[in-house]
Structures are given as C-alpha cells and as structure tokens.
C-alpha cells in the first residue's frame, strides 16, 4: 500500500504559503497562522511549572513538493506534509508515545486508532511500588509503558517498548534506533518523506533531576526515569529549527529551536523510531485506511 510522502518546501527569506486541502487531522485547525508564545512547562505528574521556554507554533499549509524533487533544489529545509496530528489534552493524558505511533501508522495508510493501539498493542506494566525493602520496584520502560496512559500520573515508555507494540501488527514494521544524530535522521528519513518519532522532553525543556524518579528493575538495576519525558513526531527542519507534530500542541506543526531539541534528545538517550516502508507494503489489507465516500451534492 502507498503512503502520502509529500513534503513542504521552505525557501530562503520565508515560507511559501498556499492553501492546500485534504490533510488528515484528528483536530480541526483554523486558517494558517504563525505565532510565538512563551509558556511554562508543566509536569503532568505534579502540576508544577519549570522555567519558561519559548515555543514557536506554526499552523500552516504549504506548497507541496515531492521528496524526489528536493534533491534537485537548493533548500533551507523541508517539512513533511499530511502527517496526522493528535493531542493528549482530553483523555490520552500521558499517551504521547502511542499517539506518535498512531500518527506514523496512519501516515503510511495503516488504519490504526489510539483506542485500538492502547487497548490491544501497547505493552503496559503497573506503576513502581514499594517492596519490603522500602524501595520502589518496577518494570523497565524499555519493555513496557509504565502506568496508565489515560491518567496524568503515568510515566511513559521508550522506543523498544513502543516498537514491540507496533510489531504485533507485522514483525519488523517498527525499527527502534539508538544514538542516531538528528541531522542524520533528517538526511536519511525526513528528506525522503518519512517522519520519525523521537524522545525528548515536554516543550523541549532541559532534562531535570527534579522531574526524574528512580526505581529498581527486576534484574536489580537502579533505573532513573528522566523527566519531563515526551515523545513526538519529527516532520521537518530548517537552519534554526526542527519541526514536529507535537501532541502537547494544538497546532499541526510546532517549531523548536535546534539547540533545545538536541539537549532534550540526548538527555533521553537519543532514542528514535521509524516505520519500514517495505514492511508497510506487507501489512494485511484490512489495516489499510478506507477512503471516505464522496458526498452526493444532488447534481
């Protein structure tokens, strides 16, 4: 099955804006706009604010260019178009990893939903709990999502756990990667119209010990869950920013400064995840997104 690998082209001196319909979005957005806001980063677990960070949110529709054409163009950057966007504000309070996974799957034409993925595919383990030794003990986020993704006090999961959930659909569909530099992710995937899930922090705040928690894993290792952990979909870049579909933002496209992203990315062990388009082609047809029937206009 095919996938919509159109990308947006950013040229020197600004962004070429043009109206383009047909984008698949979970949340309707208003007309194209660009706004810069300064907002506190808040922990979903404690409700406490950490130092403010500047977030530039861009909701735009841009002239599409195919990935193959970009190789022949002088460019400052690209943004992949048509990546479905989900938010975690109402019910999926800590399900950022699952929403990012569903976004990738739907982009490639796999008819997955957040409800289905959370109910039947994401590996989940209980919250860490105190044992007889008075210490917290729990499973590893490399293997499971820790807690309840529908609640605001859950922890999260890492790329290998998320890949295990996706690969229940088809073995090898998701590829978890470690220590791949962001520039290389852009070169190997974004330039080819393939979005990437990366792990960072909420609003790209600096990883912070005060938002981290430690517990003992089943093998006896003392593990540190770095906070405020967050996963989101990398969809583009330019000279100054990386662009994301971020479930903590209402806008379809969010720009974060490159230095902020680098610090957050490496603070969360430089984890990323992609889908293998070759394996996508082998996914059973019943997973393919069904075309919506055209409405009869009466003519």
Residue 77: per-residue pLDDT: 87
Instruction: Answer positive or negative: Cα dihedral of 207, 212, 217, 220.
Output: positive
Mean pLDDT by 10-residue block, N- to C-terminus, for the chain (299 residues)?
Answer: 45 30 29 31 32 32 36 63 95 97 96 96 98 97 98 97 97 98 97 97 93 96 97 96 97 97 98 97 82 61
Residue 251: per-residue pLDDT: 95
Decide the pairing of beta strands 145-146 and 124-125: parallel
Residue 287: per-residue pLDDT: 74
Closest CA to 116 of 137, 128, 133, 99: 99
Query: H or E segment at 49?
Result: strand 49-59
Residue 74: per-residue pLDDT: 40
CATH number of the structural domain spanning residue 44 = 3.90.70.10
Q: What values do phi and psi take at 121, rounded to 5?
A: -130, -40
Bin 22: left if φ > 0, else alpha if -120 < ψ < 50, else beta: left
Q: List the Cα angle 257/56/38 in 5-degree steps.
A: 105
The total domain count for the chain is: 1
Is position 299 within any domain?
no
Is position 58 within any domain?
yes
Is position 131 within any domain?
yes
Q: List the Cα angle 42/200/119 in 5-degree steps.
A: 85
Residue 291: per-residue pLDDT: 66
Residue 211: per-residue pLDDT: 86
Residue 25: per-residue pLDDT: 30
- On whether the CB atoms of residues 118 and 98 are closer than 8 A, the answer is yes
Question: Can you tell me whether residue 132 is helix, strand or coil?
Answer: coil
Is position 298 within any domain?
no
210, with CB counted inside 10 A (0-12, 13-18, 19+), is: exposed
Domain that holds residue 255: 6-287
DSSP string, 194-213: --EEEEEEGGGPPPEEEEEE
Instruction: Answer positive or negative: Cα dihedral of 265, 271, 277, 281.
Output: negative
Distances (CA, A) of 211 to 96, 181, 225: 17, 25, 9
Is position 50 within any domain?
yes
Is position 147 within any domain?
yes
- Does a cis peptide bond (omega within 30 degrees of 0) precede residue 228? yes
Report the C-alpha gap between 97 and 158 in whole angstroms.
8
Is position 292 within any domain?
no
Closest CA to 7 of 195, 187, 174: 195
Residue 295: per-residue pLDDT: 61
Residue 288: per-residue pLDDT: 75
Q: What pTM was computed for the model?
A: 0.76
Is position 293 within any domain?
no
């Amino acid at each position: 099955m095919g996938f919509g690998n159109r990308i947006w082209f950013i040229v020197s001196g600004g962004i070429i804006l043009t109206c383009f319909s047909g984008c698949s979005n979970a949340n309707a957005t208003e007309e194209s706009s660009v706004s810069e806001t300064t907002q506190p980063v808040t922990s979903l677990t404690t409700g406490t604010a950490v130092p403010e960070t500047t977030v530039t949110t861009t909701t735009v529709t841009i002239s599409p260019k195919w990935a193959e054409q970009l190789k022949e163009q002088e460019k400052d950057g690209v943004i992949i178009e048509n990546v479905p966007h989900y938010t975690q504000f109402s019910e999926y309070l800590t399900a950022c990893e699952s929403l990012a996974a569903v976004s990738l799957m739907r982009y490639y034409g796999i008819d997955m939903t957040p409800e289905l993925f959370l109910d039947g595919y994401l590996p989940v383990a209980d919250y860490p709990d105190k044992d007889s030794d008075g210490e917290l003990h729990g499973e590893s986020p490399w293997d499971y999502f820790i807690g309840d993704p529908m609640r605001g006090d859950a922890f999260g999961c890492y790329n290998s756990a998320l890949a295990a959930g996706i690969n229940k659909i088809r073995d090898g569909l998701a590829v978890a990667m470690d220590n791949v530099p962001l520039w290389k992710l852009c070169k190997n995937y974004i330039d080819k119209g393939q979005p990437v899930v990366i792990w960072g922090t909420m609003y790209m705040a600096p990883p912070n010990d005060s938002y981290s928690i430690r517990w003992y894993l089943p093998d006896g290792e003392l593990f540190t869950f770095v906070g405020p952990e967050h996963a989101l979909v990398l969809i583009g870049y330019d000279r100054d920013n990386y662009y994301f579909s971020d479930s903590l933002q209402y806008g379809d496209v969010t720009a974060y400064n490159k230095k902020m992203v680098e610090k957050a990315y490496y603070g969360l062990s430089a984890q990323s995840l992609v889908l293998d388009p070759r394996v996508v082609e082998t996914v059973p047809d019943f997973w393919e997104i069904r075309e919506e029937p055209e409405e009869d206009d009466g003519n």
